[in-house]
Amino acid sequence: MERCSVAILAPPYRPSSPGFPPLGPARGDGGATIAVTMRYAPLAFLLGLFTPVLEIDGRRVQAAWGRVSTPVALGEHHVHVHVPYLLPSRLGSADTTVVALPGRTCELEYRAPLLAFLHGALGPPPQKYPGFTLAVVLLIVTAILAVCGCAALLTAPGRRAAHAPVAAGPAGTEFTDGLTS
């Protein structure tokens, strides 16, 4: 099957266009298919615990991470994907509008964001993970701060003074290293 053209329109979307039949139930007479491949980054592995929500023209479609293919009627269709999450309740919302042509499959790819406050990416493949660069920078900064914190704890001068050994000198005189308080 050939890929269909993807028309990205800003919401609110138009439910029908001149020259295309009105939206209706999927037909088997040379109808079209919308296939959405949904992915999350390995850094956001916790998203695997949640099932993504796929809606075509406001109706939920049975979805899971991976490729989901749905027969649709000819014409223009609004596609929405998000991940139900804790906070925010809709993580990575993304919308697009596609035009389904006879005998063709509209291939779309959804990429969930790496940070909860960002939108997802939905469109023709390949898509990039939203927030990837920012997430990597935050991980590097966190690792550097953790290493600096551990180094500061290990080299703190007060830590050595508390555990300094006291040596006994000749005739009962005690010597210290001068760091005790």
What's the pLDDT at 27? 47
Contacts for 22 with CB less than 8 Å, ≥ 6 apart: 15, 16, 75
Comparison of pLDDT for 157 and 97, the residue scoring more = 97
- Of residues 88 and 64, the one with the higher pLDDT is 64
Residue 166 has pLDDT above 70, yes or no: no
Q: With 90 as the cut, is the pLDDT of residue 94 above it?
A: yes
DSSP secondary structure letter of residue 134: H
More confident residue, 119 or 4: 119
62 vs 15, higher pLDDT: 62
pLDDT at 80 over 90: yes
Q: pLDDT averaged over the chain?
A: 82
- Report whether pLDDT(10) > 50: no
Of 27, 33, 38, nearest in space to 2 by CA: 33
Alpha-carbon distances of 116 from 43, 63, 122, 130, 144, rounded to whole Å: 13, 20, 16, 10, 23
Name the pLDDT band for 14 (thresholds 50, 70, 90).
very low
Q: Which of 60, 67, 66, 65 is nearest to 49 (CA)?
A: 65
**Angle value at C-alpha 130, between 132 and 112, nearest 5 degrees:** 110
More confident residue, 16 or 177: 177
Q: Please report the domains of the chain, with CATH numbers, ordered by start residue.
A: 2-135 (2.60.40.1120)
Per-residue pLDDT, 86: 83
d(CA 181, CA 179): 7
Model confidence at 164, in pLDDT bands (50, 70, 90)? low
Alpha-carbon dihedral sign for residues 56, 58, 60, 64: positive
Supply the pTM of this predicted model: 0.69
Q: What percent of the chain has pLDDT over 70?
A: 70
